[in-house]
Every structure is written in C-alpha cells, then in structure tokens.
Amino acid sequence: MTDFRILDEKDTKEVVEKLYNAYPKAGYYLNFKTIDQLFVLVILSAQTRDETVNKLAPQLFSRYHTIKDFAYANPTELSKMIKSVNFANSKADHIIAASKVIMQEFGGKVPNTMEFLTKLPGIGRKSANVILTNGFGIVEGIPVDTWVIKISRRLGLTQNIDPDKIEKDLISKLPKSRWSKLQYVFKEHGKSTCKVVPICSKCIVNRLCKRNGVVKSI
Ligand code: SF4
C-alpha cells in the first residue's frame, strides 16, 4: 500500500486557486426564496440529488409557506409530498420536529448560529454551514459532503475521513475567502473530471495532485 501524501502550503494554494478559476459559476444548487424554504430544502437534500429536491419544491411550498405551516403539518401528508427523496418519512419527522422547536424557542425564525442550528433535529454541522452561508451570509465553516471528502483526500488536503476533522484541516489550510464555495467547486470538479474513475490525464491540477487512493485513472 502506498503512503498517503499531503500537499504542502504552496501547492495547496495553487490547487485551490486553479480549481476556483476553472469553475467560476459553481454555486448553491437548490432553489429557494426564503430562509424557511432553504431550511426545509437542506433537510430534504441529504443523500438526495439536488434535481429531485428542486423538482418537488414548487408544489411543496405552495402547500406549506412558513416554518409555522411545517410545524403543524400532518406527517403522513408531508411524507407523501416528499416521497421522491430518500428517507422521506424520517425527513418529514425531522422537518416537523425542527419547525416546532423553531416556533417554541426562536419565535418562528430560523436561528442564525451554529450552536442553535445544530441542536435542531435533522441538522448537522454540514447542513448548518449551508444554511448560515446561503441564508444569512455568515461563513463560519466549510460544508463537508461526499465530494469534499473524496476530492480533499485525493488531492492531499487531508488524510482524515471524519467530516469534522476534514473541516478542521481545510479551515486551517485555506483562506476564509475560499470556504463558502469549496463544496460547489469540488462538486463541479467531481462531476466533470475527478469521477469514480478520475480523468487525471485531462485534470487541470494533475501536476500537483497526490492522487491518494486512486487505483485506476483515465
Ligand atoms: S482527476 Fe486525478 S489528478 Fe485531478 S484531482 Fe482527481 S485524482 Fe487528482
């Protein structure tokens, strides 16, 4: 087994800048008009394609407009409306339970701190980061999803597997100006080039990438 290799500071900067420049339009994919809608979409999007969530959103939000509506939603009816997402029943339960807490403890307003958001059912650190960044313009951390885990490790930005540890590594290495879009830049790179079998021969960072864990590439 080959050793895991980590990028040095200079190469880290170059890799991240190259990827940022390559995907200037990378950004949040879920369509929302209010913080309440964003909150619900973030719960729905876990382990589900963005396209699936965006497709069901118009009908869902024509039935439920606010956190208050979701707090009083019928679980069976809500589950049916979101049945195209994975784990629809438990997500419906989380949406209703979290909305009740927001009504009772935050006056119906989605909280804007990591501490309070991560106390809500169905909201982990990754989701809280997404809500804070895209809903409130507050950049407190880096959302670590499966794309960020895979590509950060391949590149040599982190050796960790645990998302919280990966986030700490990335925070310590990248300037804050690069935190909010990293997830979307890596997603674009993963979809276009750093696939399951990566197309390393055509990759813009192949000269620098450590290719950790890459057994086969094109
Ligand atoms: S495509 Fe290959 S060279 Fe490019 S980031 Fe992925 S593993 Fe590294």
154 close to ligand 1 (CB < 6 Angstrom):
yes
Question: Would residue 207 count as lying in a domain?
Answer: no
| CB 98, CB 78: distance < 8 Å | no
Are 129 and 72 contained in the same domain?
A: yes
Q: Are 191 and 131 in a shared domain?
A: no
- pLDDT at residue 12 is higher than 90: yes
Q: Give the pLDDT score at 29.
A: 86
HEC secondary structure over the chain? CCCCCCCCHHHHHHHHHHHHHHCCCCCCCCCCCCHHHHHHHHHHHCCCCHHHHHHHHHHHHHHCCCHHHHHCCCHHHHHHHCCCCCCHHHHHHHHHHHHHHHHHHHCCCCCCCHHHHCCCCCCCHHHHHHHHHHHHCCCCCCCCCHHHHHHHHHHCCCCCCCHHHHHHHHHHHCCHHHCCCHHHHHHHHHHHCCCCCCCHHHCCCCCCCCCCCCCCCC
How many domains in the chain?
A: 2
Task: Examine residue 217 and state whether it is found in any structural domain, yes or no.
Answer: no
- Say if 211 falls within a structural domain: no
Ligand 1 pocket test target in 153, 192, 217 with most atoms within 8 Å of CB: 217
23's tokens: 């995907």
Q: What is the pLDDT of residue 179?
A: 95
pLDDT at residue 47, as a whole number: 87
Same domain membership, residue 16 and residue 51 = no
Q: Which atom of ligand 1 is nearest to the CA of 206?
A: 3
Residue range 189-205: mean pLDDT, rounded: 96
CB 211 near ligand 1, within 6 Å:
yes
| pTM, rounded to two decimals | 0.90
Tokens for 10, please give them: 């200079």
Q: Is 208 within a domain?
A: no
Has residue 1 got a pLDDT over 60? no
Where does a domain end: 116, 136, 156?
136
- Say if residue 112 is in the same domain as residue 156: no
What pLDDT score was predicted for residue 218?
92
Instruction: Indicate which CATH number applies to the domain containing 161.
Output: 1.10.1670.10
What is the rounded CA–CA span in Å between residue 101 and residue 99? 5
pLDDT digits over 130-185, tens only? 999 999 999 999 999 999 999 999 999 999 999 999 999 999 999 999 999 999 99
From the CA of 197, how far away is ligand 1's center (Å)? 9
Q: What is the mean pLDDT of residues 24-31?
A: 90
pLDDT at 2 over 80: no
- Do 118 and 166 fall into the same domain? no
Let me know whether 125 and 159 are in one domain.
no
147 in the same domain as 131: no
Domain check: are 178 and 116 in the same one? Answer: no
The verdict on residue 113 lying in a domain is: yes
What spacing in Å lies between the alpha carbon of 207 and ligand 1's midpoint? 9
| Whether 130 and 163 share a structural domain | no
Q: Does any domain span residue 17?
A: yes
127 with 169, same domain: the answer is: no
Per-residue confidence (pLDDT) for residue 106, from 0 to 100: 96
Give the distance (Å) from ligand 1 centre to CA of residue 150: 10
What's the confidence (pLDDT) of residue 122? 87
**Residue having the nearest C-alpha atom to atom 7 of ligand 1:** 211
Host domain of residue 173: 9-26+143-202
Ligand 1 site, residue 209, Cβ cutoff 6 A:
yes
Identify whether residues 132 and 187 lie together within a single domain: no
Which CATH number do you get for residue 112?
A: 1.10.340.30
Do residues 104 and 166 both lie within one domain? Answer: no
CB of 203 sitting under 6 A from ligand 1: yes
Structural domain includes residue 70: yes
Q: Which of 1-10, 124-133, 175-184 has the lowest mean pLDDT?
A: 1-10
